[in-house]
Structure 1
Amino acid sequence: MQCPDCGDTRTRVIDTETSTDGSSVRRRRECQRCSFRFTTYERPEWDSLQVKKRDGSIEPFERGKLRVGIKRAVEKREVTDDAVTAIVDAVENSLQDRQTRIINSSLIGELVSEQLRDVDKVAYIRFVSVYKAFSEPEEFLRELDAVLDAEVDDFEPPS
């Protein structure tokens, strides 16, 4: 294990503790060169989510990467950080509930889209335009029309 402070590979385990649900191990480590202490977490690889990208490559699911994508879509919109966290939590929980550990990136995009559509329509259009890789203005128009049509259907006149 490499020290995050000095980069030396000579570290030793000071303390080991199993999580309450038994799914991971927390280890306190100390660098033998600079005495920097840090914590690592170990989880069985088969238990972690993997994302299958459009090009067929597979990489570990990264909550931070999901958050960055959502933050980019809600940039300069009145969407709170708590709302972004709630979206990330909802998507991650939905993925964890599935029977498979390898998830298509398109499924993640659909789950985020569903959540964003309810939170902020503009952020939804921004996200979908990247997720679906819009290349023509007509694609924006079709998606915008779908959002506006849904808004009209949901509209209830004041009584």
Structure 2
Amino acid sequence: MQTITNSTVEYLKNQLDKPFTDSISPSTLLLAGTLKHIGVGEAWVDYPIKHDLTNPVGMIQGGFLAAIIDDTIGIAFFSMEPEYMFTTTNLNVNYLFGARKGETVRAKANVIRMGKKIANFECKVYNLKGEVIASSTTNLVVTTVKAMSFIDL
């Protein structure tokens, strides 16, 4: 039996439990996530709810929660080593609970279907009690831009 290897997943496995500090994505740096699990088409990332991500009452602002979801889906997408970049065409988020400044949330994203033109992912965000605070689905569409590899960065 032949073993299939994925250099992006192997690279990301070496990043487990380390905060993203050298990402080429400024938004990933702002969100300050820590990769907790990676597999082909799936990623789990913990994000601290920092003051900069909160609304006036100290809860995570909905747009930043959507950014956490989009960021985690992006990591899950890259784990599949696509030939071309995809871009988000829609992001449907169901906000169920909030998270306060100082708390940590875990986003878990996985691929539902990876087609040649459209990719579909889902993501759930949990508080540390294991309660779902947001759930989402998204579609991404292929672009003409060649995908980059984490290995080449």
Question: Structure 2-normalised TM-score?
Answer: 0.28
Bigger radius of gyration: 1
Question: Structure 1-normalised TM-score?
Answer: 0.27
| Larger helix share, 1 or 2 | 1
More relative contact order, 1 or 2 (CA 8 Å, 6+ apart)? 2
